[in-house]
Structure 1
């Protein structure tokens, strides 16, 4: 609602007054026929929602937002000229249309920030108090120092990023080394295969020589077959002649010596011819066997040639890939060497004797308070070694420092080995949801000593609270959880309430105040959590976006719990 009141409101014509809010029209709209009445836009929209889209004045035909038409410009101009009084500075006779300009630019009571808010001055107040504050502002007086500190913090963030990049390059380098080893093994296998292929080549050469011999044998065999055919023809002719002679001999039985001699010669010739035929048949059989062996050798030779060609193609591909990986590794090694030189040079010069002396002054097994000590990522190992291991502190406070996700991850990794720390407070640092995830995993099962955890003013979002809620499902040690002044909304609050209501029986105190994104949407979930959980005794949720009705309902949730501390 605007922070003004009308001048001489009683003199404003009744035609300018809305029948619903009893005030002069704001954004006037006119209803369609038959109603044709004028109302404020917000008033009639609320009215339609509460009366099932029927006008409460005439209750006639149903209406919607599309039926609302703007009143004529003349009426709007007359309404804008109404005179109002600023409730902040009491200035009078301001035209209503100019009030926004007044409250934003002219009103001496308007809220403004300090000019040193760029260096984190938290002051804001009335405009007429700005000069007085500026004259005494400690941030403005320390502007040069604060700017240097901010620049130093930015450089630390850059160094942290370089460290992350350095780790990433180390991982990539290791992957490449593993890949090189794999390729070397593959190359060794390929070299063995190449040696075998060379053996195949020698065998193939021998087979080719045998093939050439077999081809010569084929030529000789063909020539012999032709000669055999000629001799067979001659033998057949001789057989025919012999048979004819035999017939003649049988018929005449002539004891002619010449004929007997001739017959004897013919018989000898016939026997010699049979011997020649048998020799030729043996040679033909031998040539046929060699021919079959030659065909088998040709098939094996063709298969070996195909395998050799495939192996040559694959070997060429591996050579190209190996050459590319070698070049990539050289580039990574150069970048890694550069980052190592930069990072080691920065680490060698770092020391924080003041922090070491401060922790050494603390008593063993008691509180170690490091509030506002400007602890950064370089200091976290000192805190872990000195405070957690040497001093075995039970309570560790790290408010208002420069811790980042890296520091928190380092700290949380040591919680797994902790046997003494019972209270940990890390407020107003630079935590991320991934840091909260690491913490939640550390506290889910392994840690059995930490009882109080405060994470206020760390810009934790819904995802971070969901990680913490999942941790509370299994953690049976934590009894105090502080999450005030973060960026938590209704979605994560509802999930937390369901976990506390159903799965956790040890938590006793939860603080969520100054989370201004929490609204009445979460009221029912909070009510059921408080009503049904038997261990919860303290719940603070003031300075959130809760209505009076919502707060009243939460008050009813503790009417049967006499010792419950609920602060709204």
Structure 2
């Protein structure tokens, strides 16, 4: 059995692998094993691509329909996943085949990885064990942390702005309710004979003071909203300015 040159791993002991677990098309332990209707085991990709428009089983030559293929049993899959492999990149041995993908993508020190600032176009790629040294000198990493800080501040400003706007709306509702109550009081009192003018004036004065107080609070909240919007716009301006400086720096480096 020959391991594919494109495979990032190789089997520790080819001779000990049960032949029933091998795909007769690629001659390797099945990847995503599937059964044919005649109960022969193959890699899903191998058997799906086999035979053109009139496929037949590679083992017994019985005709078959591709939609009749079915996944292997859990026990067979477990037997294949428990095979021991060696990472070709770093040489680590005795890995389970089921763990090799996670090893290569998350652990293997020789896997090729991009810089963590690839989202802002850092061009560096290299082995995972060289990444830490690169990050010490990566200008893109500094820009990422600065941008993240700006974004956090911007989110905080927006959250506070929403809180203040909510208070403004609540104050407006309260103020409108007080005005309605005052109008009802005036209408009710005016309808009563022998109206007590001094009492009515006192109630009106109290209502006016309450309205003035709430209007003042509303104005204060509106000023806070304007201030928060100005600060949020400033943060966004700083982010845009930093991005432009970085683009100019990148063009200069090129």
Residue of structure 2 equivalent to 1:56: 58
- Of 9, 15, 36 in structure 2, the residue corresponding to residue 10 of structure 1 is 15
Q: TM-score, normalized by length of structure 2?
A: 0.51
Residue of structure 1 equivalent to 2:208: none
Q: In the alignment, is the contact (CA less than 8 A) between 2:110 and 2:129 conserved in 1?
A: yes
Calculate the aligned-residue CA RMSD, in Å: 3.2
Residue of structure 2 equivalent to 1:75: 76
Give the C-alpha shift of residue 93 in structure 1: 0.4
For 2:12 and 2:74, how far apart are their aligned partners in 1? 23
Residue of structure 2 equivalent to 1:40: 43
Q: In the alignment, is the contact (CA less than 8 A) between 1:139 and 1:146 conserved in 2?
A: no
Change (3 A) 1:74 1:145: closer
For 1:30 and 1:91, how far apart are their aligned partners in 2? 32
Give the C-alpha shift of residue 8 in structure 1: 0.9
For 2:117 and 2:40, how far apart are their aligned partners in 1? 52
Give the C-alpha shift of residue 400 in structure 1: 4.3
- Segments of structure 1 that go 5 or more residues without pairing to the other structure are 152-371, 375-398, 402-427, 429-568
1:28 aligns with 2:37: no
For 1:47, what is the secondary structure of its paired residue? coil
Change (3 A) 1:98 1:8: same
Give the C-alpha shift of residue 96 in structure 1: 0.5
- Segments of structure 2 that go 5 or more residues without pairing to the other structure are 1-5, 152-245
Q: In the alignment, is the contact (CA less than 8 A) between 1:7 and 1:85 conserved in 2?
A: yes
How many residues align? The count is 151
Give the C-alpha shift of residue 119 in structure 1: 4.4
Give the C-alpha shift of residue 91 in structure 1: 0.6
For 1:46 and 1:5, how far apart are their aligned partners in 2? 24
Residue of structure 2 equivalent to 1:19: 24
Change (3 A) 1:136 1:69: same
For 2:51, what is the secondary structure of its paired residue? helix
For 1:4 and 1:136, how far apart are their aligned partners in 2? 33
Residue of structure 1 equivalent to 2:106: 105
Matches within 5 A, 1:166-181: none
Q: In the alignment, is the contact (CA less than 8 A) between 1:119 and 1:146 conserved in 2?
A: no
TM-superposition CA deviations, 1:390-430 (whole Å, max 9, x none): xxxxxxxxx949xxxxxxxxxxxxxxxxxxxxxxxxxx9xx
For 1:41 and 1:103, how far apart are their aligned partners in 2? 22
Matches within 5 A, 1:190-269: none
For 2:59, what is the secondary structure of its paired residue? coil
Change (3 A) 1:71 1:119: closer
Give the C-alpha shift of residue 92 in structure 1: 0.6
Highest relative contact order (Cα 8 Å, sep 6+), 1 or 2?
A: 2
For 1:115 and 1:77, how far apart are their aligned partners in 2? 35
